[in-house]
């Protein structure tokens, strides 16, 4: 059995105790809540290093990433969801109590590790889910002045499951930064009712046809050596979900991304391999690649996000792929997107003129395909392209920041993050809402 040091117990107690401030949201306006969160962030940045290093994981450092990220995440939640402070309250409760429960249970009980993150356990993730749900129900009950009904509890149960899963993902940055805002978006969309999956209204053939088409495609692409076996299986699952939930047009857009992305990867593969910057397995994608690039747009589609979220996310995925592949092949003078200073080829977050042009071209190609397939109206196709570019740039900016600040963003998480930013950016740029379908 693993023991927990006294300093870590204090850290978890403080982490949970700060969640009690979520109860104040019953009386605060969003501006007052944002001001208090900003005060907490500045306090943790400027004052905590003077006396509070006893709860730091690394007392030799001036700042503890988790202690800074906590109020920053609350501030972001308040600003983004300022008109839904009840959602802020329940997600804050999940952060405050779910995260410590996962850490304590994972260390004290142990058990099998997660296949996608060997540093965390199934017991820890389940403890996060249970504690997060109970805390969210209690805080929401206090916020509204009465116990939530069964339907609301079910929504919070689903939201806590999303939070627990996202916290279990290997990201390279603080868990709260990864999980909070997507969980809030999921709770809002679920509370409005999941969409009805009917791309072919009244047709009982939709499920078997989707399964048969994607099964055949998966087998063919694997046997032809286009993808690895794991990639074929993951691609079949994603394709099935997209075809069933979105219909042939959105399925066609998924294929557009796959074909253009594969072409970009294969272009000049020999030269990239010699330079040590080529994708492994001769450019054949595996399950991790499929999940990293397609999980978020598929979730947007299934959860019923506004229509531009799906093409915007795929535009970001292709924009990033094109930037990486063309940048490593033709970029001779990579530089930092923050400082514009020169960097070595392949440095995290480095961009180049050819890579930026390819990024724009990739996003524009997906926007054009979305318009041609009637997935996005021509009047807002520009928002799909702009969202895609924003997602790709966001990944580069964060990776470069990590290189200079001493953290390493996980590659697959970074790809998923850029699709999330791309989808949400496309909605916002077109003047839509991220929480309505």
Tens digit of each residue's pLDDT (9 = 90 or more) over 112-121: 999 888 889 9
Look at residue 202 and tell me whether its pLDDT is greater than 60.
no
**Sequential DSSP letters for 365-427:** HHHHHHHHTTSS-GGGHHHHHHHHHHHHHHHHHHHHHHHHHT----HHHHHHHHHHHHHHHHH
Tell me what percent of the residues of the chain surpass a pLDDT of 90: 47
Beta strands in 24-123 (DSSP E): 113-114, 117-121
Rounded Cα distance between 65 and 31, Å, is 25
Q: Residue 165: what pLDDT?
A: 93
Q: How far apart are the first and last CA of the chain?
A: 48
Sequence-distant (6+) residues with CB within 8 A of 242 are 250, 251, 254, 298, 301
Q: Residue 88: what pLDDT?
A: 96
Q: Residue 282: what pLDDT?
A: 62
| pLDDT, average across residues 328-334 | 82
Q: Which helix (H) or strand (E) holds 97?
A: none
Binned at pLDDT 50, 70 and 90, residue 321 comes out as very high
Q: What is the pLDDT of residues 60-77, one digit of tens each?
A: 666 777 788 899 999 999
Q: Residue 403: what pLDDT?
A: 81
Task: Classify 341 as helix, strand or coil.
Answer: coil
Q: Residue 196: what pLDDT?
A: 45
Kindly list the domain boundaries of the chain, sorted by start residue.
6-191, 206-429
- Compute the mean pLDDT over every residue in the chain, rounded to the nearest whole number: 86
Q: What is the pLDDT of residues 419-429, one digit of tens each?
A: 999 999 999 99
Q: Residue 60: what pLDDT?
A: 62
Q: Which helix (H) or strand (E) holds 56?
A: none
Q: Residue 78: what pLDDT?
A: 96
Instruction: Find the angle CA(270)-CA(273)-CA(279) to the nearest 5 degrees.
Output: 110
Tokens of 354: 């050819």
Neighbouring C-beta atoms of residue 328, cutoff 10 Å: 22
Specify the higher pLDDT residue, 60 or 250. 250
| pLDDT, average across residues 322-333 | 84
Phi, psi dihedral angles at 201 (to 5 degrees): -55, 130
| pLDDT, average across residues 17-34 | 94
Q: Residue 393: what pLDDT?
A: 93
Of 84-93, 224-233, 412-421, the range with the highest mean pLDDT is: 84-93
Specify the higher pLDDT residue, 97 or 51. 97
Q: Residue 59: what pLDDT?
A: 59
Look at residue 197 and tell me whether its pLDDT is greater than 50.
no
Look at residues 328, 221, 334 and name the one whose alpha carbon lies nearest to residue 275: 328
Q: Residue 309: what pLDDT?
A: 93
Q: Are 71 and 42 in contact (CB under 8 A)?
A: no
Task: Classify 149 as helix, strand or coil.
Answer: coil
Phi, psi dihedral angles at 434 (to 5 degrees): -80, -5
Report which DSSP code applies to 227: B
Q: Residue 251: what pLDDT?
A: 94
Binned at pLDDT 50, 70 and 90, residue 332 comes out as confident
Look at residue 126 and tell me whether its pLDDT is greater than 90.
yes
Binned at pLDDT 50, 70 and 90, residue 278 comes out as low
Binned at pLDDT 50, 70 and 90, residue 280 comes out as low
Look at residues 412, 318, 332 and name the one whose alpha carbon lies nearest to residue 360: 318
Of 10-24, 122-136, 341-355, the range with the highest mean pLDDT is: 122-136
Q: What is the pLDDT of residues 336-392, one digit of tens each?
A: 888 888 888 777 888 999 999 999 999 999 999 999 999 999 999 999 999 999 999
Binned at pLDDT 50, 70 and 90, residue 49 comes out as confident
Specify the higher pLDDT residue, 280 or 79. 79
Give bridge partners of residue 121 from the DSSP assignment.
113
Pairing of strands 113-114, 117-121: antiparallel
Q: Residue 201: what pLDDT?
A: 47
Specify the higher pLDDT residue, 42 or 10. 42
Q: Residue 193: what pLDDT?
A: 67
Tell me what percent of the residues of the chain surpass a pLDDT of 70: 89
Rounded Cα distance between 13 and 318, Å, is 43
| pLDDT, average across residues 11-15 | 80
Report which DSSP code applies to 333: S
Q: Residue 160: what pLDDT?
A: 95
């Amino acid at each position: 059995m693993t023991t927990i040091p006294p300093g870590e117990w204090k850290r978890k107690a403080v982490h949970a105790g700060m969640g009690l401030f979520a109860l104040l949201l019953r009386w605060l306006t969003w501006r007052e809540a944002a001001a208090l969160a900003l005060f907490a962030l500045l306090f943790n940045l400027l004052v905590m290093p003077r006396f509070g290093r006893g709860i730091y994981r690394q007392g030799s450092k001036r700042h503890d990433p988790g202690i800074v990220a906590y109020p920053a995440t609350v501030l972001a939640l308040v600003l983004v969801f300022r008109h839904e402070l009840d959602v802020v309250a329940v997600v804050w409760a999940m952060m405050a109590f779910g995260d410590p429960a996962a850490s304590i249970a994972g260390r004290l009980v142990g058990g099998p590790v997660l296949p996608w993150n060997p540093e965390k356990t199934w017991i820890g993730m389940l403890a996060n889910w249970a504690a997060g749900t109970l805390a969210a129900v209690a805080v929401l009950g206090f916020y509204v002045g009465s116990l939530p009904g069964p339907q609301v509890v079910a929504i919070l149960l689903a939201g806590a499951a999303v939070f627990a899963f996202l916290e279990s993902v290997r990201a390279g940055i603080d868990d709260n930064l990864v999980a909070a805002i997507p969980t809030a978006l999921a709770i809002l969309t679920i509370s409005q009712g999941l969409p009805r999956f009917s791309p072919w209204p009244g047709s009982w053939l939709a499920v078997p046809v989707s399964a048969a088409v994607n099964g055949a495609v998966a087998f063919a692409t694997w046997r032809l050596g286009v993808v690895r076996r794991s990639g074929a299986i993951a691609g079949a699952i994603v394709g099935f979900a997209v075809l069933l939930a979105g219909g042939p047009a959105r399925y066609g857009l998924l294929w557009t991304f796959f074909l253009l992305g594969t072409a970009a990867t294969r272009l000049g593969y020999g030269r990239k391999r010699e330079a040590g910057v080529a994708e492994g397995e001769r450019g054949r994608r595996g399950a991790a690649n499929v999940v990293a690039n397609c999980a978020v747009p598929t979730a947007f589609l299934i959860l019923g996000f506004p229509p531009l979220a799906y093409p915007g996310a795929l535009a970001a995925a292709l924009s990033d792929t094109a930037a990486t592949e063309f940048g490593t092949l033709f970029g001779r003078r990579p530089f930092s997107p923050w400082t514009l200073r020169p960097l070595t080829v392949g440095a995290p977050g480095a961009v180049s003129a050819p890579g930026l042009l390819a990024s724009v071209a990739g996003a524009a190609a997906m926007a054009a395909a979305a318009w041609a397939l009637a997935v996005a109206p021509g009047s807002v196709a520009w928002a799909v392209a702009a969202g895609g570019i924003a997602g790709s740039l966001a990944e580069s900016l964060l990776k470069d920041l990590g290189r200079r600040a001493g953290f390493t963003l996980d590659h697959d998480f970074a790809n998923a993050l850029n699709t999330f930013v791309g989808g949400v950016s496309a909605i916002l740029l077109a003047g839509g809402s991220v929480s309505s379908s």
